[in-house]
Chains A and B, each alone.
Chain A
Amino acid sequence: MKRLTLLLAVIMYLGYVAPSAAQQQTTPVYFYAWGGNPTINDYIRWAAKELRPQGIQLQHVKVADIAEVVKQLVDGQSNADLIWINGENFHALKEADRLMPILTELNIKERLNDQLSWQSDFGEPVADLEVPWGVGQFYLLTCNTCVAGDHISAAELLEYAAEHPGRITYPKPPEFHGTTFLKSLLLSLSEQDEAFLKPVDAVDAEKLTAPLWTYLDELQPLLWQGGENYPSSAAQQLKWFANKQLDVAPSFNPNEVKTLVNQGRVPAGTKRITLGDAAITNSHYLAIPKSSGHPQAAKQVITFFLSEAAQRKKADLSGWGDPTVLDIALPDTPAMLPVAAEFHVSWQTYLEQQWQQRYPR
């Protein structure tokens, strides 16, 4: 009995030590954001610390897929104050009218780098509803001795896979790296067809994608495990790449080729190549749901995230290393890759569904 009391006392003590810091008068901001990358989580922790003097308690709600929250928001049962989205998730929320107009009010437009064409999110006008936070470019990480040059076309990839069976794979769509892998192949096979910027319904999608399926039918058996299994995430594929089980890993962060080496997550001698001639480029955004309980504080958080200090810290190669959206010069960061425009949002679901009908049996 005495021991039990002692145990309870210890637990109570732990309880006082831990949450007491949060007991002051603060406004919580529930920030729903993907939680699978420790450097991003660290960055958000840093932001939370910086925001505390402003009376804001930024709480990172780690989700495996932000679609989780999109569904809750559409169903009208979510306590999210701030969300990190782009593409189809933005599209769904915009269509359901769940986002607050904020971009003009926050008055940051003129500081943004217009060359990033952030005004359109997967072909969908942002319409004041979201604020760009960072930039993504899709490319492959590979080892110096694996693939020569700085790009690999779809045909060359197939050749490589034939010579090295089982060394290539991609995350299973609908994981977005996987879907973007398919898009890059499609661009390479169609020689940068502009039709993909239009909605699926407006073009002959079946005819446009036919070369991709013929190509994949050839590639699939040469993939890791003969295409019978896929990594579930880019991070998982990265881990296997780092341990020499695979020759490529996908990335959406053009600086990751540096940051991952710095963090000891991939060996030195890792380089980046684009799949096709250019890297599919898009922005990722911050948005505030209409149902937010603390919209004012959430706006303060966005203002902070878009400040020069926060953007520089975000681009820091010892941490996250995500390119800035501001019009500022950052020395030491690798140059951006050649840009290929992102597909219209409707292609996402179309490709995912077509792929799922064909491949995992």
Chain B
Amino acid sequence: MISRMVRVAIALLWLILPLGVVLWQSTTASFEGALSDAFRALSGSALLTFAVTLITSLIVLFGALGLARGKRLSATWASFIAVPHVAFAIGLLWLVSPSGWLVRIVDALLPMWQGPLQSSWLSSKSAFTLMVVLVLKELPFLILMTQANVQQMPVLRWQQQAQALGYSRRRFWWLIVVPALLRRIRLPLYIIAIYTVSVVDIPLLVGPNAPALLAQAVFELNWQFTSNTQGLVHWGSLLLVLVAIVTLVVLRVVEWVLQRWLSSLAASGKRTPVAQTTGKRAGLPWFWAGLAVIIFMSLLLQSVQQSWFYPSLWPQGWQWSRWLAEWPYIAPLLYNTWILAVLSATLAWLSAVALLEVQAQRQQHQLHVGWLAMLMVPQLVLVLGWQQTIGPDSGLIGLLWSHTVFCFPYAYLTLHGAYHAYPRRWLWQARSLGYGPWAAWFKVLAPMLKRPLALAWAMAFSISVAQYLPTQWLAPVTHPTLTTEAVSIASGGDWRLGSVYALAQWASVWIVFMLALWGTRARN
């Protein structure tokens, strides 16, 4: 009875209500203007969005499948995926843009060569740059998810059998493990795809604009005030949903084709008996750690430089006082960001734990798509519906609720594996020793799962910190955060100041992850 109430309450709060508002709103929406007009205006954007999403998702998928076989990534390393997107993009551009640091090194080494680079590939604004940022940022997430799934499969036993039959490790991985994995990592992959379809803040900074990605185009249309744009916004968000659905269908087809192909390969029975070592993959975690350090350094240098023009390798002037001068204005934003993130992470975390506990008691170990529904709908469509219902500046409660809606599925997803892998016989034993159900949970389960529990909270926290669209559309006046400020400043072109805010944003997330890891480290 109670367990049913818990599930209903959680579903109502974080799924049914938010979706219902959007659906209700969309029935009253005015679809003025002809569909053909909207299509002409937005079809370029829609196609581009589809292409970018599909390419990004496929690179991330194959990247994760290829790389997950290597060394297992530690939890410390996992905190890399918590680098906020905006900070990551700002830092990466400094490294790879046509007048960026890498080009400057080449320029310094080759005096004959006249820089900067005149290439549209890694230009500061292009679909390619956007994809590089998204792939580098999403790949670790999927690798982590993949490895978490591998752990739950009896891979070692399979491997012994396969080796006994003379399969190389590589063939074993691709022919036996990958087919079993594909279905399991479907959800995280879809989450990445949907995120890419509807992300706004990254394209604003590094995406192309002629045409822009669909979500960005709709975002910008939404503040035009000429009469026909509102109809266009509604058509645009409908188109966004359509692109999302088509992408998911295509990804599903790709999965199906891959399954067939791999099983036909497996059925051929071919094998290469040479046992290959996988030693070279040990370098992988270092790649991301190195990237994170370089990006961090870049932000740090940017935030204290006064002038630093091409082709200088090192800032030509410093302005150390920027941090001090800016601090009085960062502090309130830091406060806003933290209050919001702590509250929404806690709400999301409590809901996720309650739900997982109820599911575990009923022995429902499957990860249920329904609970991740909010990650399966383009965020822009959701937030637009909420904004039209509760107004453009609705105060803390609405904002908190909107953040929690997105934090909850991530907390649930992060915690799901560990929670269901937990041997519940420990709980029964505690109960048989006379502990009540609460005491058993707190004294037995919680200490054993403290690290996954803490990481799930930290994950929810970092999701809230990185939210741009909900904050920007639901409470920009009463509750600006580090993220909205960082995007606002960076899109104004002064990345020195933008870096200050990006660092403050990054530090917030990093501190929480470090606390979660340090607070739950195993004691000898």
Contact = CB atoms under 8 A, between A and B. Distances in A.
B497 A18 contact: no
A295 B48 CA distance: 46
A176 interface: no
Contact of B342 (A8, A36, A67, A245): A8
Nearest to A236: B493
Interface stretch (A72-80, A146-154, A200-208, A330-338): A72-80
Interface of A: 3, 7-8, 11, 14-15, 17-19, 30, 35-38, 45, 59, 61-65, 67-68, 70-72, 74, 77-79, 92, 166, 172, 225-236, 238-240, 242-245, 264-265, 267, 349, 359-361
Contact of B493 (A3, A36, A92, A267): A36
B7 interface: no
B402 to A, nearest CB: 17
Interface string B512-523: 000100010000
Nearest to A7: B515
Interface in B200-233: 204, 208-211, 223-226
A11 B310 contact: no
B515 A228 contact: no
B123 to A, nearest CB: 6
B493 A228 contact: no
Interface stretch (B166-174, B245-253, B327-335): B327-335
Contacts of A229: 120, 123, 125-126, 208-210
Given A14-B335, A233-B491, A233-B493, A72 B392 contact: yes
A72 B225 CA distance: 9
A341 to B, nearest CB: 25
A72 B480 CA distance: 18
Contacts of A11: 335, 338-339, 342
B211 A360 contact: yes
B403 to A, nearest CB: 16
A79 B125 contact: no
Contacts of A15: 335, 339
Contacts of B306: 264
Contact of A3 (B126, B209, B515): B515
A7 B393 CA distance: 29
Nearest to A234: B493
Contacts of A235: 491-494
B476 A61 contact: yes
B342 A92 contact: no
Given A71-B225, A77-B392, A234-B493, 10 more contacts: A8-B342, A15-B335, A38-B492, A61-B476, A79-B477, A225-B120, A225-B126, A228-B210, A243-B309, A245-B98
A244 B476 contact: no
B332 A361 contact: no
A164 to B, nearest CB: 10
A353 B441 CA distance: 63
Contacts of A64: 223, 488, 491
A244 B309 contact: yes
A130 B316 CA distance: 43
25 contacts: A11-B339, A14-B331, A18-B331, A18-B335, A36-B493, A38-B492, A61-B476, A62-B485, A62-B488, A64-B491, A77-B391, A225-B120, A229-B208, A232-B204, A239-B493, A240-B124, A242-B310, A243-B99, A243-B309, A244-B115, A245-B99, A349-B226, A359-B210, A360-B44, A360-B210
Contacts of A166: 118
A38 B494 contact: yes
A225 B122 CA distance: 11
Contacts of A8: 342
B307 interface: yes
Given A3-B515, A64-B491, A229-B123, A242 B98 contact: no
A239 B495 contact: yes
A230 B210 contact: yes
Interface of B: 44, 98-99, 115-116, 118, 120, 123-126, 204, 208-211, 223-226, 306-307, 309-311, 316-317, 319, 329, 331-332, 334-335, 338-339, 342, 391-393, 476-477, 480, 485, 488-489, 491-495, 497, 515, 519
A70 B99 contact: no
A68 B477 CA distance: 13
Contacts of B393: 79
Contacts of A38: 489, 492, 494, 497
Contact of A37 (B116, B118, B492): B492
Given A14-B335, A245-B116, A232 B209 contact: yes
Given A38-B492, A243-B310, A232 B99 contact: no
Contact of A265 (B392, B494, B515): B494
B380 to A, nearest CB: 16
Contacts of B116: 243-245
Given A62-B488, A229-B126, A17 B331 contact: yes
A239 to B, nearest CB: 5
A72 B107 CA distance: 49
B488 A264 contact: no
A65 B209 contact: no
The 6 tightest CB contacts between A and B, nearest first, are A235-B493, A36-B492, A264-B307, A360-B210, A243-B99, A68-B223
B210 A264 contact: no
Nearest to A15: B335
B374 to A, nearest CB: 25
Nearest to A21: B328
A19 B476 CA distance: 17
A231 B118 contact: no
Contacts of B310: 242-245
A232 B205 CA distance: 9
Contacts of A234: 493
Residue from A64, A65, A67 whose CB has the most chain B CB atoms within 10 Å = A64
Nearest to A22: B332
Contacts of B477: 30, 59, 61, 79
Nearest to A360: B210
Contacts of A36: 488-489, 491-493
